[in-house]
Structure 1
């Protein structure tokens, strides 16, 4: 391999010896990553009996099932240290944002890179809320679904449906450089779609929810916050001067904020991959919504509730724990693909849950949840595997206490801002 090089340029490289051919290859290291395409040069003759599909003579492939160690984009938006249990948005610890910021302010931070001034926030909030109104024809669209359709199935379709209204936002119709020109007109079109997507997300989710409840739709009110308007649209039953409970409004806002971004999770990756074909942003969000529907992603909080219902009572927790160890039952709401210690959001959600239960009364499942939590945290089987409660364990109970049993649409609202 030769003498070690002294220059920094040579040190920031990886030397690879292919024992099949005896050749040595140098791969540059940039930002602690190497280009996967460099391995296309690491070719070898086809071995006797080797299958043609390996294409050995065309270079090595990088096999990374599930993106466990693959970077596909450079980003300064979110930082996660799974070993230390750290989550930051644009450099701000999630704990600080949950305490001092709001979901819309944090959405601005994630999108534009800095916290807004008071004037910037007022404009942003006004535009988002203004674009919460949907076309009157949307009512017919929502009424076309069965009464027992899951709100996520409705919401996924609704985002794609919205794209049919805004041809000016479709690169297929307006040209491939629609969002990449960088001029004022291009940026203005992009901003308008941001306002529309965030503004209409709560309206569409509320409409999907009310289809399931068999209720008439509610026009977004004026004079309420983003999350206040959402709760109003979901829960208003004709009361005069109805306003959502401020504690529940704040709790929902915190949950929105905590879920706003989490690096390249499944739904974010789906949106990026779909968007790479230059579809309109509504179709890309619809694809992300479909990804979020799954029980291993946005549907995880619903899975927690179903699990707790199946356990039945605290007395049944020990038997359930043993069944999990034998792989006869699935434990939802514990562990995380990234966090190897506690999910930092779970502590915030736990505190928020106490505030919500003080208003709504304790959910009948809470005692079962607490018993399961305590049993798992004292059991070496779970402790050794670092299976601590994650954000979904407590958030599902909060949504349920607020009367919203189908929870995935709520998570969809929070993630349309990124």
Structure 2
């Protein structure tokens, strides 16, 4: 009888050329390209193209891909009506999961082995998820929905729709980089969930809706929210240090500290910390950021 391995740690579950992680050396690559190079020299749209089709696009391919995304960013009235019927202050991840699933009713994609259906579903999800998230945020703030603009990039569109004003170019560059750094991470929990659902030949909208449910968890994507909640409960830098030292002494889990895969510092953290410092130096700091730095 085989030994039980919690969390399938170290157990190969799939082969993929999409991304690669070396947890001991702190390396993350997409299609053989280090993410540091992609952040420096590519845009989120180019990286999406790379992940989907295996190579960075030339200018003509990028122009076509960008145009296809722009044409699909807006939300159909049926989806808006459904979103408006949801509790205003319910958790946006619950709402987003439901809305992504509902997209499948508008854009049937059952022939999942068709390259045309695969491409269309991928384009639709990449284009509309930022719009849905921005809509849900503004509705929680009791603010009007701002529609996407065809001439803006994914990053600039999202920040504009989210806040209702034109973002600073530094903010756009940093958010674009953040999108790149979170675009893929081999077989993490939400990707594993997506692959299980996809293996049944379910449609792409159901696949991503299921993955969002996994991403929501506090031990996966929801860890970010848990960190913010923890910092919100601490009044100043002194309290942050005292409480975290007490948690370490008690061997309690500290959200946002450590990583299941990386035995050294997460390579994405170096880039994000540098960008955060540049952003707050230009735009001004915040108490939350000062507590986080401790």
* TM-score, scaled to structure 2: 0.95
Q: Name the CA distance, whole Å, in 1 between partners of 2:212 and 2:50.
A: 22
Unaligned 5+ runs, structure 2: none
Quote the offset at 1:327 in angstroms: 3.0
Aligned residue in 1 for 2:103: 162
Partner SS for 2:80: helix
Q: Name the CA distance, whole Å, in 2 between partners of 1:318 and 1:250.
A: 32
For residue 204 of structure 1, the aligned residue among 124, 132, 140 is: 132
Note the aligned Cα RMSD (angstroms).
Answer: 1.5
State yes or no: 1:296 paired with 2:224.
Answer: no
Q: Name the CA distance, whole Å, in 2 between partners of 1:322 and 1:234.
A: 36
Partner SS for 1:80: strand
- Residues 105-161 of structure 1 show CA distances to partners (whole Å, capped at 9, x for unaligned) of 111111111111111111111101211112112221111111211111110111001
Q: Name the CA distance, whole Å, in 1 between partners of 2:174 and 2:239.
A: 30
- Native 8 Å contact 1:221 1:232 kept in 2: no
Partner SS for 1:254: helix
Q: Name the CA distance, whole Å, in 1 between partners of 2:97 and 2:260.
A: 25
Aligned residue in 2 for 1:331: 254
Aligned residue in 1 for 2:273: 350
- The correspondence of residues 79-90 of structure 1 with structure 2, limited to 5 A, is 79-90=20-31
Aligned residue in 1 for 2:89: 148
Partner SS for 2:285: coil
Q: Which moved more, 1:152-161 or 1:360-369?
A: 360-369
Quote the offset at 1:61 in angstroms: 4.1
Aligned residue in 2 for 1:364: 287
Aligned residue in 2 for 1:114: 55
- The correspondence of residues 12-31 of structure 1 with structure 2, limited to 5 A, is none
Quote the offset at 1:230 in angstroms: 1.1
Q: Name the CA distance, whole Å, in 2 between partners of 1:309 and 1:202.
A: 26
For residue 159 of structure 2, the aligned residue among 220, 231, 235 is: 231
Quote the offset at 1:88 in angstroms: 0.9
Quote the offset at 1:79 in angstroms: 1.2
Quote the offset at 1:360 in angstroms: 2.9
Quote the offset at 1:179 in angstroms: 3.2
Q: Name the CA distance, whole Å, in 2 between partners of 1:119 and 1:332.
A: 44
- Residues 291-312 of structure 1 show CA distances to partners (whole Å, capped at 9, x for unaligned) of 1111111111111111222232
Quote the offset at 1:244 in angstroms: 2.1
- Native 8 Å contact 1:142 1:211 kept in 2: no
Aligned residue in 2 for 1:192: 120
For residue 179 of structure 1, the aligned residue among 112, 130, 133 is: 112
Unaligned 5+ runs, structure 1: 1-59, 171-177, 181-185, 237-241, 372-418
State yes or no: 1:260 paired with 2:183.
Answer: yes
* TM-score, scaled to structure 1: 0.68
Aligned residue in 2 for 1:216: 144
Which structure exhibits the higher relative contact order, with contacts defined as CA atoms closer than 8 Å and separated by 6 or more residues? 2
- Native 8 Å contact 1:150 1:212 kept in 2: no
